[in-house]
């Protein structure tokens, strides 16, 4: 682990770290916000997964999350959205390859040698974070767009791993929308039945002991709402399976970080409640 940035922020520090990922076979960067409470002892961790074209920088510079994390005493961990570096495959366009890992474990060449973002977030990051920072074992997860898809899938596929899950404008049914069909087809190939393991709508229908409540915020002026996001599919799947869902439709808001920044405080408070931490007195 090598620290390459450190900035004082709301009594804590916003840092960026670089490390070698054995799962992805490349160097990775991640943003880590340490709240002031981290100087006194372990804090719970909220993982944030960003969307298409993003790096670890988008969330830490645009969301305004540090003030809220400092109030509640949460560590924020924001990894990159895909493997990067020499020898890592890429493709033309923005929705496959670098910046578009889709938080799956690819099984199809040439992607399968590096594109294993699901295993990276689920299995490699937690022991790394908990071994190098004052982080306790209590975890929550959230994300935006492609990262919202990743957060939902990670929480649903790993019962007990996270205490709460939320998403902004998530791709909830990647096997039924153009972005997802392209990505799953490239990374996983055929048969399409294998795609169900990476589709939140399919996962909530599966029988499981844990029914972790899902919170989703969706802007009604989002240009991708009708074609790529389709939150009504998740709403129907949760209703049919009895899975708890809070879907908040926000009039006038689009797909941008202006939307994320407007409601990130509510999401962090939602996760803080699940993680059993109290806001500091103002």
Report long-range pairs for 13-20 (Cβ below 8 Å, ≥24 apart): 14/60, 14/66, 16/56, 16/57, 16/60, 17/132, 19/128
Whole-angstrom distance, CA of residue 189 vs CA of residue 118? 17
> Does the annotation count 255 as an active-site position?
yes
Q: In this structure, what token pair is assigned to residue 20? A: 């070698």
β-strands 135-143, 43-49 pairing: parallel
219 Cβ neighbours under 8 A, 6+ residues apart: 169, 225, 250, 252, 253, 254, 255, 259
Of the candidates 9, 21, 142, 145, the residue annotated as catalytic is 145
Whole-angstrom distance, CA of residue 136 vs CA of residue 125? 13
Q: In this structure, what token pair is assigned to residue 231? A: 């939150």
Of the candidates 114, 118, 144, 255, the residue annotated as catalytic is 255
β-strands 214-219, 2-9 pairing: unpaired
CB neighbourhood size of 184 (10 A):
23
Q: What is the DSSP letter of 227?
A: I
Q: What is the DSSP letter of 186?
A: H
> Does the annotation count 105 as an active-site position?
no
Of the candidates 80, 95, 199, 222, the residue annotated as catalytic is 222
Q: In this structure, what token pair is assigned to residue 135? A: 């982080």
> Does the annotation count 145 as an active-site position?
yes
Alpha carbon of residue 203 to chain centroid: 17
Whole-angstrom distance, CA of residue 37 vs CA of residue 245? 31
Cβ(10)–Cβ(76) under 8 Å? no
Catalogue the active-site residues.
145, 222, 255
């Amino acid at each position: 682990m090598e620290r390459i940035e450190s900035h004082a922020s709301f009594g804590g520090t916003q840092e960026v770290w670089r490390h070698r990922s054995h799962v992805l076979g490349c160097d990775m960067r991640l943003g880590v916000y340490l709240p002031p409470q981290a100087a006194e002892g372990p804090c719970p961790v909220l993982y944030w997964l960003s969307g298409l074209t993003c790096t670890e920088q988008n969330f830490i510079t645009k969301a305004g999350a540090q003030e809220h994390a400092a109030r509640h005493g949460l560590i924020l961990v924001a990894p990159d959205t895909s493997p990067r570096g020499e020898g890592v495959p890429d493709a033309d366009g923005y929705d496959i390859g670098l910046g578009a890992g889709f938080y799956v474990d690819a099984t199809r060449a040439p992607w399968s040698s590096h594109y294993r973002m699901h295993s990276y977030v689920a299995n490699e990051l937690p022991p790394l974070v908990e071994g190098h920072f004052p982080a306790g074992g209590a975890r929550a997860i959230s994300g935006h767009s492609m990262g919202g898809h990743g957060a939902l899938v990670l929480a649903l596929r790993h019962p007990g791993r996270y205490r709460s899950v939320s998403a902004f404008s998530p791709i909830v049914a990647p096997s039924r929308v153009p972005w997802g069909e392209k990505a799953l087809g490239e990374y996983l190939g055929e048969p399409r039945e294998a795609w169900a393991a990476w589709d939140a709508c399919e996962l909530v229908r599966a029988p499981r002991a844990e029914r972790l409540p899902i919170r989703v915020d969706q802007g009604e002026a989002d240009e991708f709402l009708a074609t790529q996001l389709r939150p009504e599919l998740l709403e129907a799947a949760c209703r049919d399976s009895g899975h708890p869902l809070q879907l908040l439709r926000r009039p006038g808001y689009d797909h941008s970080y202006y939307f994320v920044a407007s409601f990130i405080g509510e999401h962090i408070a939602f996760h803080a409640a699940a993680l059993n931490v109290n806001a500091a007195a103002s």
